[in-house]
Structure 1
Amino acid sequence: MKTYLLIIFSALLVASCSVQKKTTPEQPVSTTKPIENNSQFFSAIEKKSTFDAVKINSKIDAKTGSFIPTLDAVIYVENGQKIWMNLTAVILQAARGVATPEGIKGYYKLDKTYIDSDFSYLNKLLNVNFIDYNALQNLLLGKTFLPVSDNQYKLTQNAQGFNLSSKETQKITENGKTTEYNISLDYDKNLELNHVLLTNPRNNDQLEITYSNREILNNESFPKSVKIIIKAKKTDEILIENTKFDFSRMETTYSVPANYTKTEIK
């Protein structure tokens, strides 16, 4: 159950990433010189997407230490309202999950178990402590999902685009628990987020997300490839290949079948 829910909610985090296109000069630039008057950069990366809803067909491959077949997924994002996902393995439904501002729900058909939780469950799965619905939505839309500011981060420009690096360890408090992270975010020349790395300096645990192979649809940029690496006592790796995007609304039913057992993450 835990393995499939890790796939579900990791995919919910990053299955669709979109940001408005921006233009920047193409000439070579310094890889170390800080940018002056960078308020426009911070303003641009905080812009919100305007799409109403998007349905994404994906294929998911996971390396978690247990055998998991390639999964077919349908991921539906209703902007600001819900994130819904259905997984199938060899034409049979395997799992389904939904996230709303109130929390997350999911069930795994093969062992007839389900969860119904606030976002602490997802934070435990991802080995972090800062994910709520707004952070999930921002990350999902390719936005900066952590609080960043000019005085706490160093912004530099390089040949590939831009880098934001925390000047000192960032302390994030969630539900009374404070965790420290060293944070690095990379953006391309169009200010599209393409790499995130969070490192806990106390134990070197990491969460790394890479976006690539983008496609422009409805004036927004979506990655066709998303790679998630979660490094803790062991390393889990999830690769999401987005194959089709549809911007029409769809029905997203969710109900736990009878005789399923509620489970808690250990």
Structure 2
Amino acid sequence: MIKKMKNFILSIFAALALFSCKSRTAVQPNTTVEKPIVNSNKAFFDKILQKDQFESLKISSKVNAETGQFIPTLDATFYIENNQKVWVNLQALFITMARGIATPSGIKGYEKLNKTYIDSDFGYINKLLKINFIDYNSLQNLLLGKTFIPVNENDYELITSEKGFFLNSIKNQIFEVNGKKSEYKISLNYNPELDLKKIYLEDLISKNTLEINYENFENIGSQKLPKNVKIIIKGQKTDQIFIENTKFEFLKMETPFSIPANYTKTIIK
């Protein structure tokens, strides 16, 4: 049952993320993109770390997960209230199969097939991704295709080319959370418009890796969002999550959430 729940949460995360595909956007995209002028390292880092200004965003997506066990394609609705919550509803054949919510205080979710639920801090998500530094803000940025790790000029080498910008850590990046210290080698790739294309992290102790690829960014109002997201988690085995966003809408919506009675709590150790 723990394996089934883990696969479900991988799907939820994929779903919590954000993202995707043959878009039917609520706002006509602006096809002309003005390249930013980056005339210094400071201007580059200021741009890639710029905070989002939207209030609320609904994303309709399709989510596929490859975990070694069969998981059907899921229709997902993600709803993000900036800096407040990420809510996701997962359906198969128009039937709600799972629901989850993340806030700055932690995450909750349940799935109907095995009648199980989670109620945890972000350590749960970190264990699934095989890293240790994800909190609410970094989760939201990850889902939206934004730089979700702390980066600064002193820790990285910046390389520019016709294909874009490349950041490579020049010293091990150390993150300590709840007394646990991890060291990572990190590389990031941005296109010429400074959209994040790829981030790769290697845990230098466990040798686990996390790779996330973003493709087909689209202007939706004042926001740029990736239509396709691919998450690859490598440890003793490899899990992959594919997210295909079909519609973006800036609107407010109801996000009901309550864990049904008689469900069993699941813990990933």
**What TM-score, normalized by structure 1, do the two folds share?**
0.91
Q: Deviations over 1:22-63 (max 9, x none)?
A: 6147xxxxxxxxx98311101111111111111111001111
Q: Distance in 2 between matches of 1:185 and 1:61?
A: 24
CA distance in 2, matches of 1:115, 1:186: 34
Distance 1:204 1:151 in 2: 24
Distance across 2 between alignment mates of 1:48 and 1:37: 19
CA deviation profile, 1:128-151 (whole Å, cap 9, x unmatched): 000011211222333221111111
Aligned to 2:89: 86
The letter for the 1-side match of 2:206 is N
Contact 1:121 1:265 in 2 (8 A): yes
What is residue 9 of structure 1 aligned with on the other side?
13
**Residue pairs, 1:94-173, within 5 angstroms:** 94-173=97-176
- The match for 2:207 is 204
* Alignment check: 8 A CA contact 1:183 1:198 kept: yes
Q: 1:165 to 1:22 in 2, by over 3 A?
A: farther
Structure 1 distance, partners of 2:105, 2:137, is 11
> Aligned equivalents of 1:22 and 1:151: distance in 2?
28
1:23 corresponds to 2:61: no
Say if 1:103 and 1:133, in contact at 8 Å, map to a contact too.
yes
Identity of aligned residues (%): 55
* Cα distance in 2, alignment partners of residues 169 and 190 from structure 1: 27
Matched, 1:175 2:178: yes
Alpha-carbon shift at residue 205 of structure 1 (Å): 1.2
Q: Secondary structure at the match of 1:185?
A: strand
State the 1:83 CA deviation: 0.1
In structure 1, the partner of 2:246 is 243
- Would you say how many aligned residue pairs link Structure 1 and Structure 2? 253
Is the Cα contact below 8 Å between 1:213 and 1:225 reproduced in 2?
yes
RMSD: 1.6
What 5-or-longer segments of structure 2 have no aligned partner?
Answer: 21-32
- 8 Å CA contact 2:84–2:103 kept in 1: the answer is yes
Match of 1:57 in 2: 60
Task: Give the 3-state SS of the residue equivalent to 1:94 in structure 2.
Answer: strand
Q: TM-score w.r.t. structure 2 length?
A: 0.90
1:185 maps to 2:201? no
Give unpaired runs (5+ residues) of structure 1.
26-34
